[in-house]
Amino acid sequence: MARTNRPTLGYIRSWLFTIPAAVLATAVLITTAVVTSVFSSAPRWQVFLYRLWGSTVLAIFGARVRVTGAENLEPGQNYFIVSNHLSLVDTPVMLKSLPLPFKFLAKRELLKVPFIGWYLQRAGHLTVDRASLRSSIQSMNECARLVRERSLSVLIFAEGTRSLNGEMQPFKDGAAYLSIQSGIPAAPVAIYGTWDILPAKDSCFLPGDVELRIGKPVSPAGFTLKDRPAFTAILEQRVRALLTAGCDPQSPA
């Protein structure tokens, strides 16, 4: 159950310490990542920096993360990581705690945001153009091609935005489209507890515990693009099961 009636002292601490410290850490580490990428684009260095950023801001937030199900992800295999999305805290949780390097799938408008946009471009993260249906399909097909050719793992927050009430919203079919189009398995992942630390549309950070629950990957074999709704429903059910039970009761598809 998400916390309500956030304390006044929590807002004071957040505005005087938590937010300025997190912004400073973000500016310093992303600038470091962008600048050093000119001289070294080595994946291990970039992974080190984004894990360092995740660890740093989570420590500032007072977030303690526990990971279960990491053994479900096979070393050397790439996946679409399909997750629910509760809070801005989800991003550093994923960066620090997912047991494999990955790229983000983000809306192309974020490329215009200072620091964030620079980092997305320099680190090779994937973006989708949502200006029109045609441009969206074209960019999705390009993403599927890049994922397949470069053996990338990609994180997708399948609801399309943060939950406004702490409950998981219906999944959009972008993750299913990409998994089917590329032939890459989709791994359901559930984040639990970040809403308590920072709800959507709020600015009060409260310390708390977070669980990252990783389920068994789902193969897109046998599905066509016309089957996107069915594949999306499977992924949504798996993430809901992880949220309610803390484990994936299904065997690999």
* Integer angstrom CA distances of residue 20 from 55, 154, 192: 16, 30, 25
Q: Where in the chain are the domains?
A: 8-245
Q: How confident is the model at residue 253 (pLDDT cuts 50, 70, 90)?
A: very low
Pairing between β-strand 154-157 and β-strand 126-128 as defined by DSSP bridges: unpaired
More confident residue, 129 or 253: 129
79: amino acid identity, one letter: Y
Q: How confident is the model at residue 252 (pLDDT cuts 50, 70, 90)?
A: very low
pLDDT reported for residue 111: 79
**C-beta separation of 164 from 58 below 8 A:** no
Q: Domain 8-245 - what CATH class? A: alpha beta
* Three-state DSSP state, 10: helix
What digits encode the pLDDT tens for the residues 173-215?
A: 999 999 999 999 999 999 999 999 999 999 999 999 999 999 9
Q: How confident is the model at residue 4 (pLDDT cuts 50, 70, 90)?
A: low
pLDDT reported for residue 210: 97
Contacts of 80 (CB under 8 A, 6+ apart): 147, 153, 154, 156, 175, 178, 179, 182, 184, 185, 186, 187
pLDDT reported for residue 248: 46
Task: State the CB neighbour count (10 A cutoff) for residue 69.
Answer: 21
